[in-house]
Amino acid sequence: EVQLVESGGGLVQPGGSLRLSCEASGFTFSNYNMNWVRQAPGKGLEWLSHISSSSSNIYYADSVKGRFIISRDDAKSSFYLQMNSLRAEDTAVYFCARDADDFWSGYFDSWGQGTLVTVSS
């Protein structure tokens, strides 16, 4: 069974940093492209970032470009989102999601349960 488990969320002050992790199991992690998606309280879904299976292709939404960094460690079946210069508007539940294809054709076929990030003083 495919499982994705996020961790690392919490309360952080504006301007601070946080690192989210997503640990995968039930499939050959190194073969898959992965994504981060977030959902602000009471709002819709927002795609944030994609990392290819080889880490050769990385993409970011304009809203986080230059502040967030995606990475992966296939040996640990995990990937990460380093979030810097956090703002109040980054407050959201952050989901990790597996891509069923490449960046241009893909769709999110498995999701984690989400981890809440709250940016507040």
Partner 1 sequence: QSALTQPPSVSGSPGQSVSISCTGTSSDVGSYNRVSWYQQSPGTAPKLIIYRVTNRPSGVPDRFSGSKSGNTASLTISGLQAEDEADYYCSSYTSRTTSRVFGGGTKLTVL
The Cα 118–Cα 93 span in angstroms is: 9
- CA–centroid distance for 55 within its chain: 14
- Tokens representing 67? 């502040």
Q: Is 109 in the site for partner 1 (CB under 8 A)?
A: yes
Out of 95, 115, 117, 119, which residue is the one contacting partner 1 (CB under 8 A)?
A: 95
Q: How far is 101 from 109, CA to CA, in rounded Å?
A: 9
List the x/- string, 35-74, binding to partner 1 by CB under 8 A.
x-x------xxxx--x--------x-xx------------
DSSP label of 5: E
Q: Is 27 in the site for partner 1 (CB under 8 A)?
A: no
Residues of the shown chain interacting with partner 1 in the complex, contacts defined by CB under 8 A: 35, 37, 44-47, 50, 59, 61-62, 95, 97, 100, 103-114
